[in-house]
A and B are shown apart, each in its own frame.
Chain A
Amino acid sequence: DGGITQSPKYLFRKEGQNVTLSCEQNLNHDAMYWYRQDPGQGLRLIYYSQIVNDFQKGDIAEGYSVSREKKESFPLTVTSAQKNPTAFYLCASSITVGGGQPQHFGDGTRLSIL
């Protein structure tokens, strides 16, 4: 089945530790996105990528880094510089950035601080 796979589902991080969240898609989509959702809040864009080897900062990129070495993969690293990383992280993809296509989401990773 085609879709977006995020792993792990739950992740615990110690203070000062970097962690990487995985996002893989087999939909052949060019565009991929990372969002953060906090309780009672809307989704906020962290980073997005329009095409392989290209990515752009979203609204809250500080403390995060990404790479897009393959079309299928868009991992997100939460660095120790992110002081409040506890949140629900959602990866999404769409055929392209432009046009009227919606985005489709993976089932998310919940990150908590130990």
Chain B
Amino acid sequence: RKEVEQDPGPFNVPEGATVAFNCTYSNSASQSFFWYRQDCRKEPKLLMSVYSSGNEDGRFTAQLNRASQYISLLIRDSKLSDSATYLCVVKGGSTLGRLYFGRGTQLTVWP
């Protein structure tokens, strides 16, 4: 079983739509959680960390459910510039603290 599983997408939505991505992780001892954004042929960039109580950054809301080992990202009022691949990333529970990456969910926002 993969460490991190994501909705494969692609998601094609109109501007202004609300879209939600889901992600599950297999290691219950995982400590830290992140969403990264990756534009085509570019490096991943940190979008936001995910905290236990849930957190919001402008139009983006991230939630964590440790009991279900489930992470979500909600994007409200989608913009054309949100088109990218969104990577769910989990930091392992060992002292090593290595990151495990999902394959990513591709989002295309159309006008």
Q: Which residues of A contact B (CB under 8 A)?
A: 33, 35, 40-43, 45, 48, 58, 88, 90, 96-100, 102-108, 110
Contacts and interface: CB of A to CB of B under 8 A. Distances in A.
A43 B32 CA distance: 17
A58 B89 CA distance: 16
Interface stretch (B14-22, B41-49, B65-73): B41-49
Interface of B: 4, 31-32, 34, 41-46, 49, 87, 89, 91, 95-99, 101-104
Contacts of A42: 4, 87, 101-104
Contacts of A45: 98-99
28 contacts: A33-B99, A35-B101, A40-B103, A42-B87, A42-B101, A42-B102, A42-B103, A42-B104, A43-B44, A43-B87, A43-B101, A45-B98, A48-B98, A90-B43, A96-B97, A97-B95, A97-B97, A97-B98, A98-B95, A100-B91, A102-B34, A102-B89, A104-B46, A105-B43, A105-B44, A107-B42, A108-B43, A110-B41
Contacts of B101: 35, 42-43
A43 B89 CA distance: 10
A107 B97 contact: no
